[in-house]
Structure formats: structure tokens, C-alpha cells
Amino acid sequence: MSEEKNTPKPEKQLARGADPRLQRPQAAAGLVRSTQIVIWVGLGLLVVSLAWWGIAGKLTLPPVLIGAVGVLGVAMWVAYNLRNLREIAGTRAARLVLNSVGFVLFVLGIVVCLNVIVARHHPRLDLTENKIHSLAPQSMAVLKGLDNDIEMIAFLPQDSGSPKSSRDLVQLYATLSPHMKITWADYTDVTLAKQYEVTFPGTVVVKSGDRKEKVTDVNESRMTSAILSVTTETKTTVYFLVGHGETSTAGGQNSVAALKSDLGNQQYVVNDLDLAKMATPEIPQDCDVLAIIGAKQAPTPEEMKAIEGWVDDKGKLLLALAPPPAPDFSAILAKRGVTVLAGVVIDPDANFLGQEQVPLVTPNPGSPIVEGVERLVMPFARAMQVQSSAPPTTPGMPPPPSGPAVGLLDSSASAWLQTNPEQAGMPQKPANAEVGAFAMAATVDEAPPAPPAMPGSPPPPQQDQDATRIVVIGSDLALTDAIAQRFKFNSYLALNSIAWLSKNVRLISIPPKTETPHNLLLTSTQKNFIIFVVMVFIPLGIIVAGVSVWWTRRR
């Protein structure tokens, strides 16, 4: 009996000799029993601290204190259970867990490195047809020429309903130049708003040193103009000739006040010039560009002598002609290969909405004046003939200028010349009308051409030589506010002309970018087919698949 009592039962022996892998380690039991509340409270405080930081968007004192208490709690738990943790670390299960954690950390490290590289180098790929998510070459030239740091204080907070395109544009400027820095501001910050005198949301303040410029209509043209405003030390001066029936710059019907305003926004100095008020007519010495827009009467001989002498002495002239019998300034243009005809262009094939007296023109490529300009309207445009070279030298007279004229805008080959301006509004082609492609704008650059490159050698560097430059436009109405506001490309024609004349290539205007719509046109048969597939075929296929699965499982 005593032996039976002392002999252990098989069940108990089996329980004692059970697989040790299924038994909880003694160290793990110690972990469970000790200071469980400390680890959970510590981890909870860390989560609260990180959530507070993420919601507030900035690290303040309260989340720092909460996080410090959480870290202290976790550290106390680790220190108290260090021995048990060492015992657990030696088990096979712990090694598997550590391997998994190490692999996860390795992958996270690769992801973090890739994000750091992308954040520093900002790779961009604009696949849109019109490059609407990229800056124009003019803006890129401005950014590359920056020498000083520029700060942009953008009152465009994400939660204010600001257009995403405005934020993206501001970010794009900072991405493309290390000199550009952004401060994202909230217009509800009264102190900051008062500092920069911001009263409306959606404003961007461009600042460089003590100079600053506010942009309320955030687009590429105004942003680039603001950057030029705070970085340009010397400005280009443009004089508009007055006193001969020229188009007004002060506003009103058929004025060029918008052109004057745009020039001011692009950091030009704009003044009016009345030569008749001078005892001796003379073009001011600070005149960089002289603009004669729509003169109805010819200047006096004294005035014309001053204008012609200034142009011959490396002057820069923008000339927009009014319809006959307005002056054609042949004394300046004829000797440079531009002959203004006594009539306006009537174009039956290329016109705006069937108005033959309003040609619709596609510019000739090659000139920076029409870069990015798609179409222009030229109401009542004077017809011109442009020679490819200057006329021959007359014996006993000084040689003519060497710079040839280049046509900028041409009519269609079916256009004809209306010599009676009173009938230009309802044109009727006479039997003897002059027909052919006519020039409606031209440029003259008397700078000598670059020397030819020797075979096998790089092209010689181009020397920037000062010389006479002229832009002649056959329609003064094409530059007026009424036309330029309706046809945006017309306003760029005038701005680009002045920029080309003054050799301010950085100020050549940025043409608007529009996203080209891609419409899918379907026939009625195609639409019915799509409706049948969506409404009948796909639902029927799903029903058949479901019944098939049900029948297979039933069997």
C-alpha cells in the first residue's frame, strides 16, 4: 500500500513532463506580476504627447512635459524588470521577435532616407500639355539671376479656403531657388497682419531687405513682378508721346491705361512727353523707350527732327500706327526697309467672327516678342511691306543703317488693301485692289550680326552691342484697353515689345497658361453600348457567377 501511495500517477507525470515550450517562463511570469500599470500609463502618456504635437502643429511645453513623464514611466519599468527581460531575450521566441523588429526598422530606415532625399532635391515632372504646373522661362530667368535672399510671407493657410493653386505656386518658387524662403502665415494673427499691413486673406508679401511688395492676386506674372520690384535697383523709363492725338494713358474710351498700369507693375517708370512745350524739342536723356501710340497728326518738323535724331542715335522706338490719313513716320521707317501702305488690311480668310476688317493673326515664330503668343487681333491694321535688307546707298548720302527689318505679323495671302478708311467698316473689294500677304507688324534691330563660327570650333560669344531698335505695329487699336482686356495676348504684344526694345528679357511678359480640354465624343451607338454593358452585362455576369458558386457548393 505504501508503494502505491509513493508511486506517482501517470497523469501527474505527464503533466510534469509536458513540453516546456508550452509552459510560461518564470521570468515572463515575473513581468506580468510586476508594475504593469507603470508601462501602460507611460505608453499612454507618450501617445497623448505625440497626438497633441500632431494636432497643434508645433511643439509646446505641455506635450513636452507629458512626453517626459511617459518616457520616465517606461524607463522605470524597464529598469525594474531588466533581469527578467534578459532572461526572455535568450529564448527562441524573443529572437524571432527581435529579427522581425529589426527588419521593420531596416525598411523604415530606407523609407526615411528616400523621403530626406526627395525633400532636399524636390524632383518634379510636369506631364501636362501646356506645362501649367511649371514656371515660364521668364520666371526661371529671374530666379536664376537672384543674388539676395527673398522671404515670402504667404497668408494662405490651408484651413482658410485659399486656392490650392496659389499655395502650390508659392511653394514652386521656393523649390526652384535656394534664395527663396516661405513663411506660412495665418491672417488671423493680428500682430503679423499689422506688421505687413495685410487686410485680406490670400495675400503674399514678397520681402528683400527693407523693400517689400504685396501680391493680392496670386499668379505667376504678379509674383515674378513682385520679385523684380524688391530686387531691381535700376528701372527702365518709358515715355509716351502726347500732343498729336495719341491714345490716352489716363483712362477713358480707347485708352492704354491698362498698359501703363502693367508697365508700372513690372517696375518700369512711365511718363508722358510733350515736345511742343519745349523751347527746343529734345528727347530726355533718361528715356530708354519712346512709345508713339496712335498719333493722328504728324509731329512738327522740329519735333520730328528730335525724334528721328534720337532714333538714329541708338534709340528704342515703339510705334503703333493709326489708320489713314494718320502719319506713317516714313522718315524713320522707309530707310530701314519698312514701307507703310496707304490703306488697312481686309482679310476675308483669317478674321475674327467674320469681321474682315479685324484680322486674326498667328505670329511668325522666332521673335521673343511673340514667344508663347498664340493669336492676335489687329483691328483696322495698316498694311506694310517689309524688305529683307536696307535699300542701296544713294551717291553723296551717308550709308543707310545695316540692320534689316523682320516681319512679325502677316495676313493671309487672300487679304487685300482698303484705301478708303471710311468704307473699312463694310469692306467691298474693288476690282483694282492690291492683293497679297501684307505685314502688320515688324521689328528693326541695327546691331551687327554675330560673326560666323569657324568649322569645328564653338560659336563665338555674342557681344551685347547697343543699337537702334524699332517695333512698328500696324494697329493702335490692338493695344487699347478694350481689346487687350478681351484678348489677353494683345496686352502681351505691347509689354513684350517694350521689354525687347529695352533688352530687359527678364521682363518679357508671361503668357497665360490654360489647360487644354480633352473631350471624348461618342456616337449614339457607342453610348448605347456603354449603357448596355454597365446596366445589363455586368450585373448579369455577377448574378451568373453567384449562382454558379452556390450550385457548386450545394453539390
The shares of helix, strand and coil residues in the chain, as percent rounded to the nearest 5, are: 45, 15, 40
State yes or no: pLDDT of 199 exceeds 90.
no
Q: Is 225 helix (H, G, I), strand (E, B) or coil?
A: helix
Phi, psi for residue 32 in degrees, rounded to 5 = -65, -35
DSSP state of 157: -
Which of the listed ranges 65-74, 78-87, 224-233 does the model predict with the highest average pLDDT? 65-74
> What does the pLDDT read at residue 390?
46
Mean pLDDT of 401-430: 79
State yes or no: pLDDT of 395 exceeds 60.
no
- CA geometry: angle at 524 spanning 521 and 525, to 5°? 110
The pLDDT tens digits of the residues spanning 277-319 come to: 999 999 999 999 999 999 999 999 999 999 999 999 999 999 9
- Residues above pLDDT 90, as percent of the chain: 31
The x, y and z cell numbers of residue 297, run together, are 497728326
Mean pLDDT of the chain: 81
DSSP state of 537: I
> What does the pLDDT read at residue 341?
93
Mean pLDDT of 530-549: 90
Kindly give the residue spans of alpha helices, DSSP state H, lying in 82-188: 82-89, 92-121, 137-144, 164-176
State which amino acid sits at residue 27.
A
Distance in angstroms (rounded) separating the CA atoms of residues 2 and 245: 138
CB atoms within 10 A of CB 356: 20
> What does the pLDDT read at residue 137?
76
> What does the pLDDT read at residue 28?
52
Distance in angstroms (rounded) separating the CA atoms of residues 119 and 107: 18
State yes or no: pLDDT of 401 exceeds 50.
no
Confidence of residue 425 (pLDDT cuts 50, 70, 90): low
How would DSSP label each residue in 431-475?
Answer: TT--BS--EEEEEEE-SPPPPPPPTTSPPPPPP-----EEEEES-
Going from the C-alpha of 460 to that of each of 368, 369, 505, the distances in angstroms are: 22, 25, 21
Query: What is the chain's alpha carbon radius of gyration, rounded to the nearest angstrom?
Result: 39
Nearest to 507 by CA among 145, 81, 87: 145
Which of 147-151, 233-237, 415-419 shows the lowest mean pLDDT across its residues? Answer: 233-237
What is the model's pTM?
0.63
Q: In order of start, what are the domains of the chain with their CATH numbers?
A: 2-90 (no CATH), 137-222 (3.40.30.10), 236-388+403-420+433-447+465-507 (3.40.50.880)
State which amino acid sits at residue 440.
M
The x, y and z cell numbers of residue 304, run together, are 520730328
> What does the pLDDT read at residue 510?
67
> What does the pLDDT read at residue 16?
47
> What does the pLDDT read at residue 141?
81
- Residues above pLDDT 70, as percent of the chain: 80
State yes or no: pLDDT of 20 exceeds 60.
no
Q: Is 232 helix (H, G, I), strand (E, B) or coil?
A: coil
User: Between these two residues, 534 and 25, which has the higher pLDDT value?
Assistant: 534
Give exposure, 389-426, as e/b (b: 16+ Cβ within 10 Å). ebeeeeeeeeebbebbbbbbbbbbeebbbbbebeebee
The x, y and z cell numbers of residue 293, run together, are 501710340
State yes or no: pLDDT of 233 exceeds 70.
yes
> What does the pLDDT read at residue 220?
83
Which of 62-76, 165-179, 187-201, 431-445 shows the lowest mean pLDDT across its residues? Answer: 187-201
